[in-house]
Structure 1
Amino acid sequence: MQLKSQRVIAKPSTGFWWQKYSPCLWYLSNLFLAIGYIALLFYALVWEAGNIVNLPMKTIGFYNFCLWDQEAEKLNCLMPEELKKMGVNMVALVLSRICIYITPVLCLFAASTVLQAFCLKDRDQWKLACVLLAICVLILPVGLVLFTFHIRRWILVSEIGKVFAMLVGAHGLLLLHVVIIVLYLARQFKDTHPRGQFFPQRSFP
């Protein structure tokens, strides 16, 4: 009996390990996710200029619409008036630009809000960060769909470059960050407000 009890005492506690390392894992997960989607967005929209198609004979992006001119044997970048004559909806194009390029700005605000939430340990800061990220999750695909739908006649699937993949990847990281924050808030609300009790037993960590 004594040996058996000693074995039970020597057995490592999984709950203790989780309580010890969960704050560090929580911090690193938020940090890596924020760095990931901000880096993807700025690389795709600033460094690559948002060009969905970037080929020697064709460049199509949110601000560039250049097609190959066979007579001049060079790329001809079309102006808004010329795009209207070709049947491109300029209102949809402008809306897609707004949705796409406002996303990295909101992501920077969300990242700063997450940092404040860590420093102040404030539930409202986490809620605000979650709302900002949720807006980014909604408007990023809306901008992509608006843009690709109205210029689909000039783009082949095989011509889509890495910018589109980066934007899709950034959207996936944003969605994952929203889910993580929502689950964290739900767990903290359950801990502070047990079932059948209105007032919290402990403060928000």
Structure 2
Amino acid sequence: MLVLLHRQRWYMGHLLCALTVLEVVGTLGLMIYALLVEAGNLVNLPNKRIGFYNFCLWNETAGNLQCLEVSDMQAMGISWLGIALARVCVYICSVISFFYPLFLANVRCTDKVKGWRVLLIILITKMLLLSGGLGIFLLQTSPWINPSDFTGGFLALVGILALILLQILTVTIIKTILIAYQCFSCS
């Protein structure tokens, strides 16, 4: 009976670990796409390009996109500090995401409950940073963006949020299984 439970725990642990690795790879892939390939642009249309580094609108007289300077954006009611804060939050999340696999590998090797708690804290921090940065950015730029304007960069960031939520769920399950197994082993 004990051997069967140990084997079941081993299979479950490896399955959850594989799921966690796939979630991390998906998050990193979407992060690279959203912030490098799309250059942080949430809207990338022929008549409008709005992102963490660009705010370009169609100029009727010139017949092309005109990228606005900070002073122009402030005149339109967009807080440069808000945009900078949004950018910092989203890009800090990306830095944490690139180092997260190192934390995951360390915790996976030690298999300690405290390590999984640290991973959970890191994931919640990533979730707060990304959703906060995206929310601040959208609040600042919402008068110039229609929901149908969003392109791949925005969808990738929303996908990242979904994957982080899934990672939180997976890490919580792993932590719960470890605690249950430790309690079972003690009795």
Match of 1:154 in 2: 144
Moved over 3 A (4+): 14-20
Per the normalisation by structure 2, the TM-score is: 0.90
Structure 1 window deviating more from structure 2 (20-29 vs 47-56): it is 20-29
Match of 1:8 in 2: none
Match of 1:91 among 76, 81, 91: 81
Higher relative contact order (CA 8 A, sep 6+): 2
Aligned to 1:128, what secondary structure does the other structure show?
Answer: helix
Structure 2, gaps ≥5 residues long: none
Structure 1 16/123 Cα, relative in aligned 2: closer, same or farther at 3 Å?
closer
Normalized per residue, the structure richer in helix is 2
Cα deviation 1:118-139 (Å, max 9, x = unaligned): 2233333322222111101112
CA contact (8 A) 2:88 2:133 kept: yes
Alignment of 1:78-117 (within 5 A): 78-117=68-107
Residue 201 (structure 1) aligned with residue 186 (structure 2): yes
Give the number of aligned pairs.
184
Structure 1 119/15 Cα, relative in aligned 2: closer, same or farther at 3 Å?
closer
Deviation at 1:48, TM superposition (A): 0.4
Partner Cα separation in structure 1 for residue 98 and residue 165 of structure 2: 16
Structure 1, gaps ≥5 residues long: 1-13, 195-199
Residue 66 (structure 1) aligned with residue 56 (structure 2): yes
Deviation at 1:64, TM superposition (A): 0.3
Partner Cα separation in structure 1 for residue 10 and residue 106 of structure 2: 22
Match of 1:167 in 2: 157
Cα deviation 1:145-182 (Å, max 9, x = unaligned): 11111111111111111211111111111111111112
Aligned to 2:153, what secondary structure does the other structure show?
Answer: helix
Deviation at 1:186, TM superposition (A): 2.1
Structure 1 window deviating more from structure 2 (116-125 vs 160-169): it is 116-125
Match of 1:6 in 2: none
Match of 1:132 in 2: 122
